[in-house]
Amino acid sequence: MEIPFVKLQGNGNDFVLIDEIAGSVIPDDMKGEFAKLYCDRRFGIGADGILFISKPQDSSKADIRMRLFQPDASEAEMCGNGIRCLAKYAYDCDRIKHSARIETMAGILEVECGYNDSEEFSATIEMGKVIYDRKDIPATGSGDYEENIGGYTVNAANTGVPHAVIFIEDLEGLDICAEAPQIRHHRSFPKGTNVNFAKVTGKDEITIRTFERGVEGETYSCGTGSTASAAIAFKTGRTGNVVHVNTKGGPLTIKIEDGRAKMTGPATTVFSGSIRM
């Protein structure tokens, strides 16, 4: 049995995509273990997650469906870089046009995508309402989230998945894998959280580093983390409502308007192949 796959990346956040439009390729009860095996960078293909593209549950509401399984075998509600990669694959295969609706566990998200004059692919994702209320992040307590954890002032928001955001001055000298776990596993986050350390680096510009839940390490970029960091930067008066976010893997632009966020960024196909099982 051979399973075709495509490897894609969005700002260095990389994914293996399995096409299930024609029907299930990996049984649902095996998807988590499949991700754990093939995300491994020494014994598998290597990726931050496995994307599955399939028909939507309701074709009147969405054009395609995205599911994402992570290296720890968990399923994530959404992924900003992942959805751009999925959109690129779907666009290149003529599954979608310039405008599309993609079904995720975090809801149906609208996408505008295509190539510019330089043949570079870009997608703008309607990320939906930024959620600050603790019960919907989810986090314990009520109202907006602000806590002191390990000497850091931590804010939080849900941009499809929960994100903690901490603004610091020494971003380059940060040992993120030593500092982030105390926040990622803090008791105030019943389902855990992703952790973003951010620094204001210019007018309406921030630079971030992200420790991702499920990956359990730093990734080159995180779309939902960039969105959450930009939203909190705007909410706390550090920037305007259009924020340029620098990640290790490249830039993203986040626009906050009427409490909702849009993310614009690239996606690239790396290679395709097949898994022989």
Which residue carries 């409502």 as its tokens? 241
Q: Does residue 85 carry a catalytic annotation?
A: no
- Residue of 79, 85, 93, 177 marked catalytic: 79
Both tokens of residue 262? Answer: 């849009």
| 207 residue type, one letter | T
Asked if residue 56 has a cis previous peptide bond (ω within 30° of 0), the answer is no
- Residue of 39, 85, 113, 222 marked catalytic: 222
- Torsion angle defined by CA atoms of residues 39, 40, 44 and 48, in that order, rounded to the nearest 10 degrees: 30
From CA 242, how far away is CA 83, in angstroms rounded?
A: 21
Q: Does residue 177 carry a catalytic annotation?
A: no
Q: Do 267 and 9 form a contact (C-beta atoms < 8 A)?
A: yes
Radius of gyration of the chain measured on its C-alpha atoms: 18
For 36, list phi and psi in degrees, rounded to 5: -60, -40
Catalytic residues: 79, 222
